[in-house]
Structure 1
Amino acid sequence: MHYNGLSDKEVAESREKYGSNVIPDSEPTTFWAEFKETFGDPMIRILLAIAVLMIVMCVLGYADIYEPIGTIVAILIVAFVSAKTGVASDTKYRQLKDSTKKDQCKVYRNGVVAVIDMDDVVVGDKVLLQSGDKIPADGVLIHGHIKVDNSALNGEAEECSKTAAPGEFRLADEITGDTFVDKHSLFRGAVLFDGEGVLDVQKVGLATMMGKMAEEMQDEEPDSPLKVKLSNLAGLISRFGYIGAVVIAAMYLAFYVISAGGIGPYLDTGATEIIKDVVEAVSLAVVIIVCAVPEGLPLMISLVLMQNTSKMLDHNVLVRKAEGIETAGSLNILFSDKTGTITKGRLEVVEFFTGDGITIPLAELPQHGKIKGLVDLAIGKNSQSMFDASGNVIGGNATDQALMKFLGQELFGKLESSCTVTLSQGFNSANKFSQAYLGELKKTFYKGAPERLLNASTKYLSLSGEEHPISLRAINAKIDELASKSMRVLAFGYSNQQMTENKINDDTVIVGFVGIRDDVRPEAREAIAAVQGAGIQVVMITGDRLETAVAIATDAGLLKTEDDVALTSAQLNELSDEEVKQIIPRIRVIARALPTDKSRMVRLCQEMNLVVGMTGDGVNDSPALKRADVGFAMGSGTEAAKEAGKIVILDDNFKSIKDAIWYGRTIYHNILKFCKFQLVINVAAVVVSAISPFFGVEEPLKVTHLLFVNLVMDGLGAIMLGNEPAQERYMTEKPRRRDESIVSKPMMVQILTMGLWLTVLSFLFLKLPFFDQFFANTEQKLSAYFVLFIWSALFNGFNVRDDGFAIFKGLNENTGFMKVFLAIVVIQALIVNAPLVPACAWIGSMFSCVPFPPVGWPVVGILAVTMIPVDMIRKAVTPK
């Protein structure tokens, strides 16, 4: 049937009235947008407040300009690194997207068939659909009979038959799961399996089902678990710093009052002296706040995420949002699409058995020459599918294509040239079989439903190639077994008579049977086991019927015990949110799922403080991919899915998902290591700065020393600990809750123990007369203390590498650790000895350092090394 289609004028009018078929992409990430987003980080806000406070103090003449400048520089570096990482990830994704050619379609326009981009389709267009085409917009089939694959929309791998609609049929306004599989409606993103027809376009662009899903993905995303934890840590540190500052300031004012002999005598000292004391107390309070806040933490996280974003690309994982890597390691529950994710996304032959129910492994079938040869003829000469020049299977339905792939291109080519089909009859729904007569062999070959061939057969071919009487009981038992595994069974046979139309000859011999299904990926089984071993609950959520979903889930290792729950969308929707929450820990399968079910499950799990992951490749997965804490989109999936996910799995391989989880856990462990490394320094700096004046030591740590700690130590510390190697044990740990604090009780014990030891070490060095003999004056001793403080922190860097005693293990895998260690030692030696070079004397002046005798260096080194045995003792006596 021919259609004139729309004229150019009508196309313009339709586009003006109903809109374009373009589904807008998200705007590309810009450097400036990412740069500004950094300032929403809670730790960065604290740093900004400190910088402003320090600037005020500088203006009043009570602080050096170095600290606010250093803090601002640190903030700008963090913002730059974060922005660069975000833009690089987004650019990689858009390059991947742009490398894919735009989809096109055939439409009737101006009386002829024109090939146009899908984006140019308008309401009212009549689109010519042929096998392999993708539906360009939502509408109704008005001519022809086709079979479509809706798996990109609803997860169903089954063929869905569509017939021409009555003249007045309109697409439903409210789309449900049943609308996808009605007889006439077609939706953007579906693919034609077979047939030819004409689509009347009734909805385009954002009005389509795919467009509505794209709009739904514009909702605000929840904060990442890392951001939640950092917010909590920032609040904890803020309280520690601010309360500590107020308490210390009050203590100092009280000290001044007591020293003066009471409140009355103190007031008699005059307003000038009192103001001076208040300013000194406030100055010290500011120093306390500066010491308390880990300025290097945001920088460390930015650097680590940037480094690992690049690494993951080598593992076929494209990280679109850098925080997605760390979030992957925090997962408590992972919802996975079935089609194309757990399964291969296409039908294939997975089992072969003979007429007596004996299974022959597919790899061993060539060893049974007679059976293999006859099956090859029954497939190769009895199919509507074939291979194109590129080796792709074209034509026929999904079952024919699966059988043709099983046959193979090389063998198909040989059969094409060896035998000629004299008579044939294709498959139809009434007969449920197809047949082909080969005149040269004087045999008719059949392919069809087992019940049809078995009704006409009395014999089967055994493994040895001999004919034997058939046992229907054994065959039916085997067919029922495969049906329970959601396999579609086809039978093959031959007759020594010429074919009879619409009939199977009564001398037909059964050659064998095949089981066909969309099978589980072998690597998916291993990956699911690894993810479950990591304590992560895996739930398959699919549009397929429950029986199929249960069979696949059992094969994939998801359903193992009687307590495991598999239910349908209808059953799920009969339950209230609270009832669903009660059974969530036992849910393993949700069948006949709608997009709303996926989004609901993500929401409920997040309300339970679970960190939620979602894998998928279809448009139907996109809203849930967006709402989940981390969405894993398949590289071969729809653009909508990739746009929604934080991570794109380029090779569609579950192993890559497992690697992303493993890397995420490694990153989190490295962040914890750095927190322990830095917070020990901060605790010691706060305590030493706070109480040293009471012991007669004025400013043992100058503002520039703290600047060195916060910028050089923290920045280089990020490199030291950010590249710590991944360990297998990370994948056996229990997942963390969303609201779990970064600082655990064991971690707090380590921070306080080592921070207090560094404090004790500091006062032993500063106050014991024994150490005076190694230095000529107080200036030299304070310079040596600066070295002692930094070296102690460096040796503590070994302690935080492992929660046990293997603190030196794996240094060869993190070569940057020792390089940074030595670099800091050298930098500090240069700072201390800078006054020996007249041109560099200003460096020593800035850091309040003077050279000290060579004997002082080993003394300082020995004291600093004590950090290691002290922590070893702590590890031995405290529970892990």
Structure 2
Amino acid sequence: MLKHELKALTEQEAEESRKKYGSNMLTPPEQTSFWAALWDNFRGDALIRILTVALIITLIFAFLGLGDWLEAVGIAIAVVLATTVSTYSEYSNNQLFQKLQDEYSRIVCKVFRKREGSVQVCDIQTDNIVTGDYVLLQAGDKIPADGVIVDGFIKVNQASLNGESEEASKRPADEDFVFNPEEIDFLNEHKLYRGSVVTSGEAIMLVKCVGDQSQFGRLAQELKEEDDRESPLKLKLGKVADAISKFGYIGGTLIAVAFMINCIFFNPTLLPGAETYLSAANLMQIFRDLVSSITLAIVIIVVAVPEGLPMMIALVSGLNMKKLLKDNILIRKIDGAETAGSLNILFSDKTGTITKGALQVVNYFSAEDKEYNSFNAIPEKMQKMLLVNICGNTNAVCLVNNGKLQVTGGNITERALHEFVGVQGTLDYEAAKLETGESLMFNSANKYSANEIKGPFNRAVIKGAPEKLLKNCKYYYDENMEVQPLTDAIRTRLDERMAVLANKAMRVLAFATSANPIGEYLLEDLTFVGIVGIRDELRPEAVEAIRTAKKAGIQVVMVTGDKKETAAAIARDAKLIETGDDIALTSDDLNAMSDDELKKILPRLRVVARALPTDKSRLVRVSQELNLVVGMTGDGVNDAPALKKADVGFAMGSGTEVSKEAADITILDDNFNSLVKTVLYGRTIYNNIRKFIVFQLTINVSAVLIAFIGPFIGLGTPLSVTQMLWVNIVMDTLAALALGGEPPLARYMDERPKRRDESIISKNMWSSVLTVGAYLTAASLLFLLHPFFRSLFRLDGPEIYPGMDMYFMTGFFCFYVLSAMFNGFNARTDKVNIFEHIGENRNFIYVMLLIAVVQVLMTFIGGPILRTAPLTISEWGWVVLFSLVILPIGTLRKLIFPMREKHQ
């Protein structure tokens, strides 16, 4: 009998309810157009802004005939490519996640509506359900709104909301039951929440809360909060951009001043009739020199800014996104993977992430306390007895199709038992064709189920709570299925075994048989068969992945809706809890602490049990206030707000669309090990970017120093404006391709996580930039000034500077370019062996060869524009030989300044 009078709504009443309480349709996430995303990326990147300013200035000078259109085109291409590639990658990936609204609008529910004077069960789309509707719920249905159960009995899986894999029982509430939508209580046996799944039974729900007002809807709305927290990479690159721009501005100004000082004092160019440089008759020459000095300064600024860096970031991220997709890792945001490499702390969901997300029979114990870890390991006679106890006492239906077991119906415990028996066990039971009689289904009062087996067996098989069955057992079966007396010693040993299993967070189920029929005397003189330990088992790969994460300096905290004892047991097995200093808290413990108290114990925190969605968001916020880079994994609606707020959110592929919408990365195979791969790829991206910065800054530092010193030693501009632009364009673009493909190395997981405020340029990198940059500067000046080097080249070309003809200056230009190219081998690894893992990045070799070929080609076609002329084989031999010297210089630096960025 219904505890509530079923007052089905008419269509008119439903429309009035919709106007009063709102629609059940969830407000879809706001979509960003491609052009809006492109503009945001264009505005938000400091390097792009600097390049844009340089582009505008270059265009102005080119338009006035005082600059080079080639450089303007080069900068424009770099800006367009960098912003377009990164924006397109993010935009296209985001489209994969915009399915939540469509998915729910397609779901049809059975709703009681009053039509034509009678109450009818109608198929109505989820979006059209209103407050006050009565919904018929059956096994397999997704609950479409928040409400209260008014008739029937069901079990629901609320894991997507509270993270608990254990099914919750729901029963009718009295008519005076008050449903307060502000009180979130997933354990309340009368309340139902949208997003849960009915696993068994049938019931009628009265809808109390719809759409955005439901718990599901409120969690979804939290995802719309704008997150203005910059990724660690953008933060670091912003600082680098500021530093580089200052270096470029100061360097450009000093070089412009040096150029004018050279014009005035060291190398005056006087117009006819001018007695001194600073005279009225020489005004036109002064103006030309001023324009030349400003042009040179602009070029230096452009050279100093590595315009290939934004493009390199987009390129290396795009390449790694494809590699990650092959490993079942889908990157939604282009900086998501790199951010993963900087993680300091990771808050991980338990169910389906660290554990398999489904109950499994872990082991079976006979009455003699012998352990068996698989059904096939059990002795044959005992195996047959257990098979009858499992398959002969169930309300699940088992089918074997194409060699695979399909279990429908029953609860998760029974499904776990059938999975334990497996395909062969199921076939063996079916072949026996045992006749069954009267049965007794499990209920919470009896705590057991039973079924009579006819024929030769002629006994009732019983399964249920051990404390209920064991006390009624007088006998037990040995391995040969001989009946033996159940002594106190055996009973004590079984009690101890069950206590051990309970401490491991296992659910214990006992099996027994009775010679009595189902009825009053069923439980008298039972014969004990054995017990099984059932648990949501750990993923084997998750244990190793957690070990690797800890080795990488990442603190892993398991956040779960399970009770504390269960969570702690899982954490111990997963090696999250290993010492007495490791802390496990409940949600209540957490809420009793202030933020300051939580910050003090956070480094020792390993488990948060009975967690609420607000706990997860708070943990992320508090960790970020400590300047930590925070990660969050999850698969349920309850995880979505924390996934959104974290620096990087990992959603599981089998999780809800809301969680995927919130996350930066989706682990398609639900494999915790894939998450660790993401961290490795993130660190690879970070290290490859640093390699490019070392490579490029070495060129920038030496080019600026050479341009600054040249005028003071009578060399004017050893590298012409167009030559510097050529070096900048070629080295920036091609080096990005070469270094962007460097492979992921296991040793990156030994490095300590990078602090959020840590400079991307380390001391080791500075030692490389300054040491090799100083060598390249000194070697270039020595090449230009020492007579020995001049004697190696022909002296019959057009003279550029006194004693320096076109061939010699071409030789110097090629020496500089090839030295920079060979330094790429130094920059690609911090090891002495410059060829380490080079076979895993063949593009590096191809790109370096391309640079060399293009440079040779430019000596033939560059002419006056690049100030080059073809060299002989002998001259090329000397150029290559001197260029190779940079390799031992780089090796010597590594020996003097070894890498010290290991995990601490």
TM over 0.5: yes
- Pairing 1:363-378 to 2, within 5 Å after superposition: 363-366=375-378, 368-378=379-389
Q: Deviation digits for residues 78-99 of structure 1, max 9, x if unmatched?
A: 1222133223323455589989
1:195-594 mapped onto 2 (5 Å cutoff): 195-221=201-227, 222-253=229-260, 275-366=287-378, 368-387=379-398, 391-412=405-426, 414-416=428-430, 418-440=433-455, 441-470=457-486, 471-495=490-514, 497-594=515-612
Counterpart for residue 35 of structure 1: 38
What displacement does 1:654 show?
1.1
Contact preservation (8 Å) 2:643, 2:662 = yes
Identity percentage of aligned residues: 46
CA displacement, residues 643-666 of structure 1 (integer Å, 9 cap, x when unaligned): 111111111011111111111111
Distance in 1 (alpha carbons) for counterparts of 2:112 and 2:441: 31
CA distance in 1, matches of 2:445, 2:307: 76
Equivalent runs, 1:82-231 vs 2, <5 Å? 82-93=86-97, 102-109=106-113, 110=115, 111-176=119-184, 179-221=185-227, 222-231=229-238
Q: Which moved more, 1:167-176 or 1:724-733?
A: 167-176
Tell me if structure 2 keeps the 8 A contact 1:104–1:117.
yes
* 2:811 paired with 1:784: yes
683-692 or 301-310: which moved more?
Answer: 683-692
- 1:431-483 deviation per Cα after TM superposition (whole angstroms, max 9, x unaligned): 22121111212111111111221121122222343333322211111111111
How far is 1:363 from its partner?
A: 4.9
What is aligned with 1:705? 723
The residue type equivalent to 1:226 in the other structure is L
Describe the superposition over 1:102-154 as per-residue Cα deviations: whole angstroms up to 9, x where unpaired. Answer: 44322223433233432332222211111222111111112222222211101
For the 8 Å contact 1:761–1:863, the answer to whether it is kept is: no
1:846 partner letter: I
Q: Deviations over 1:373-392 (max 9, x none)?
A: 11111111211222368754
Contact 1:141 1:186 in 2 (8 A): yes
Task: Give the 5 Å matches for 1:603-642.
Answer: 603-642=621-660
Instruction: Give the 3 Å change call, closer, same or farther, for CA 627–345 of structure 1 in structure 2.
Output: same
| Counterpart residue identity of residue 360, structure 1 | Y
- The 8 Å contact of residues 260 and 266 in structure 1, kept in 2 or not, is answered as no
Tell me, what secondary structure is at the counterpart of 1:345? strand
Q: From the superposition, tell whether residues 98 and 717 of structure 1 become closer, same or farther in structure 2 (CA, over 3 Å).
A: farther
Structure 1 contact 353–514 (Cα < 8 Å) conserved: yes
- Distance, in Å, in 2 between the alignment partners of 1:77 and 1:237 is 21
Instruction: Identify unmatched segments of 5+ residues in structure 1.
Output: 835-842
SS of equivalent to 2:556: strand
State the AA in 2 paired with 1:228: L
Which of 775-784 and 567-576 deviates more? 775-784
Match of 1:53 among 57, 60, 63: 57
1:819/1:100 CA distance change after superposition, 3 Å: farther
Distance 1:682 1:277 in 2: 24
Q: 1:167 to 1:188 in 2, by over 3 A?
A: same
Q: For residue 729 of structure 1, report the CA deviation from its aligned partner.
A: 0.8
- Alpha-carbon distance in 2 for matches of 1:700, 1:634: 58
Determine which of 72, 75, 79 is the counterpart of 1:75.
79
Offset at residue 272 of structure 1 (A): 5.4
Please say which of residues 389-398 and 774-783 is displaced more in the overlay. Answer: 389-398
CA distance in 2, matches of 1:536, 1:756: 38
Contact 1:490/1:513 (8 A) holds in 2: yes
Q: Residue 855 of structure 1: SS of its match in structure 2?
A: helix
Correspondent of 1:850 among 864, 869, 872:
869
Q: Which amino acid aligns with 1:460?
A: Y
User: Does 2:753 correspond to 1:735?
Assistant: yes
1:762-841 correspondence to structure 2 within 5 Å: 762-773=780-791, 774-776=793-795, 777=797, 778-834=805-861
Shift of 1:503: 4.1
Aligned mates of 2:809, 2:830 — CA distance in 1: 33
Q: Within 1, Cα distance between the matches of 2:553 and 2:757?
A: 17
AA aligned opposite 1:126: Y
Q: Distance in 2 between matches of 1:505 and 1:602?
A: 52
Task: Say whether the 8 Å CA contact 1:435–1:499 is kept in structure 2.
Answer: no
Q: Residue 309 of structure 1 aligns to which amino acid in structure 2?
A: M
- Cα distance change, pair 648–747 in 1 and its aligned pair in 2 (3 A): same
Determine helix, strand or coil for the equivalent of 1:339: coil
Look up the match of 2:736.
718
- Residues 650/117 of structure 1: CA separation in 2 closer, same or farther (3 Å cut): farther
User: How far off its partner does 1:3 sit?
Assistant: 5.4
Deviates more, 1:542-551 or 1:157-166: 157-166
Distance 2:843 2:719 in 1: 28
Partner Cα distance (1:132, 1:409) in 2: 24
Q: SS at 1:346's partner residue?
A: strand
- Superposition deviation, residue 563 in structure 1: 0.8
Match of 2:21 in 1: 18
* Partners of 1:146 and 1:194 within 8 A in 2: yes
Deviation, 1:292, is 1.1
> CA offset at residue 590 of structure 1?
0.7
Q: Is contact 2:259-2:711 (8 Å) kept?
A: no
1-side partners of 2:492 and 2:765: how far apart? 66
- CA deviation profile, 1:278-298 (whole Å, cap 9, x unmatched): 444433322221121111111
Deviation at 1:785, TM superposition (A): 2.3
Show the counterpart of 1:838: none
8 Å CA contact retained: 2:151, 2:203: yes
CA distance in 2 between counterparts of 1:164 and 1:481 reads: 37
Q: Which runs of 5+ in 2 are unaligned?
A: 269-274, 798-804, 900-904
- Quick check: 1:386–1:404 contact (8 Å CA) kept in 2? no
Question: Which residue identity lines up with residue 485 of structure 1 in the other structure?
Answer: K
- Give yes or no for contact 2:255–2:707 (8 Å, CA) kept in 1: no
CA distance in 2 between counterparts of 1:572 and 1:44 reads 44
Alpha-carbon distance between aligned partners in 1 of 2:520 and 2:442, rounded to the nearest angstrom: 10
Instruction: Render the CA deviation track for 1:701-732: whole Å, top value 9, x for unaligned.
Output: 23332332233222111111111111111112
Q: Secondary structure at 1:550's aligned position in 2?
A: helix
Classify 1:154/1:639 alpha carbon distance in 2 versus 1 (closer, same or farther; 3 Å).
same
* Structure 2 CA distance for aligned equivalents of residues 206 and 528 of structure 1: 37
Residue 587 of structure 1: how far off its partner (Å): 0.6
CA offset digits 1:777-799 (Å, max 9, x no partner) = 32222222222222111100111
Aligned length: 866
Mean Cα deviation higher: 691-700 or 114-123 = 114-123
- In structure 1, distance between residues paired with 2:867 and 2:101: 56
Give the superposition deviation at 1:640.
0.5
Tell me if structure 2 keeps the 8 A contact 1:149–1:158. Answer: yes
Q: Give the secondary-structure state (helix, strand or coil) at the position aligned to 1:729.
A: helix
Contact map agreement 2:559 2:609 (CA 8 A) in 1: yes
Classify the secondary structure of the residue corresponding to 1:283: helix
